[in-house]
Structure 1
Amino acid sequence: MQTPSALIVFTTLPDPDSARALARRLVETRVAACVNVMSPCQSIYRWQDKLNEDGEIPVIIKTCAENYDRLEALVRESHPYELPELVAIDITRGLPGYLAWIAAETMEPK
């Protein structure tokens, strides 16, 4: 049985409301099967030659690799940051049934 090609995609948002709104949009449009909106964290980073420390909401997105371009377009369109974090990691192994569920939930309706 071939395992569907799946991704875990990470991003962060500035507040819970924008994180939940993005999560709902991604699942409602079937770009993602599941989105975890995590607890707030502190991010320390350098941006435009300035050291910053900000509270952010991490978001973990599960999708099929075939949906990445659509996912990226939706994130870019609705993300409040000038340059959002958007990092995708290939799922090389996983419970076959779960990976099949990701594939089924992210298929465009016919």
Structure 2
Amino acid sequence: MNSSVLSAHDAVVILSNAPDMLLAKRIAHVLVEEQLAACVNLGAPGLSMYMWQGELEGTEEVPMTIKTTGARAQAVMERLMALHPYEVPEVLVLPVLGGSAGYLEWLRAQVQV
């Protein structure tokens, strides 16, 4: 993540997935309980299609949308990688360009270091 683009207090959304709902819930609980994320939304399981080691794979996965700040993004990524069973889990950090002032204040308050 390029810190010159985002300030530490800017909201970010981290996209990831888990191989099943049980692990997705565990990851969500850990991230929120450890105040790394303000909120984690778990979506309905869906089919992911991708190439892995030269083979086309189709795997059911649970999408996770993680809301945090630029200051906590690296810690979220490290914790997520430690909890995740995949060799190369999806972890994408996206900047938030705007939103409800009240929600963004709440988000920042939940993950203050």
Kindly provide the CA deviation profile for residues 8-60 of structure 1, in whole angstroms up to 9, marking residues without a partner as x.
11001100000000000000000000000110000000011100011000000
Q: Distance in 1 between matches of 2:85 and 2:107?
A: 27
Q: Does 1:22 align with 2:27?
A: yes
- Unpaired runs of 5+ residues, structure 1, are none
Offset of residue 107 of structure 1:
1.1
Provide the secondary structure at the position in 2 that maps to 1:39.
coil
Provide the secondary structure at the position in 2 that maps to 1:103.
helix
Kindly provide the CA deviation profile for residues 38-92 of structure 1, in whole angstroms up to 9, marking residues without a partner as x.
1000000001110001100000000011001110110111101000000011001
Q: Distance in 1 between matches of 2:13 and 2:74?
A: 14
Q: Distance in 1 between matches of 2:68 and 2:60?
A: 26
The equivalences for 1:84-99 within 5 A come to 84-99=89-104
Q: Does 1:33 align with 2:43?
A: no
Q: Which 4+ residue blocks in structure 1 deviate beyond 6 angstroms?
A: none
Identity of matched residues, %: 34
Number of residue pairs matched by the alignment: 105
CA RMSD of aligned residues (A): 0.7
**Equivalence for 1:103:** 108
Q: What TM-score, normalized by structure 1, do the two folds share?
A: 0.93
Q: What TM-score, normalized by structure 2, do the two folds share?
A: 0.91
Q: Distance in 1 between matches of 2:46 and 2:70?
A: 27
- Unpaired runs of 5+ residues, structure 2, are 1-8
The equivalences for 1:15-94 within 5 A come to 15-94=20-99
Provide the secondary structure at the position in 1 that maps to 2:66.
strand
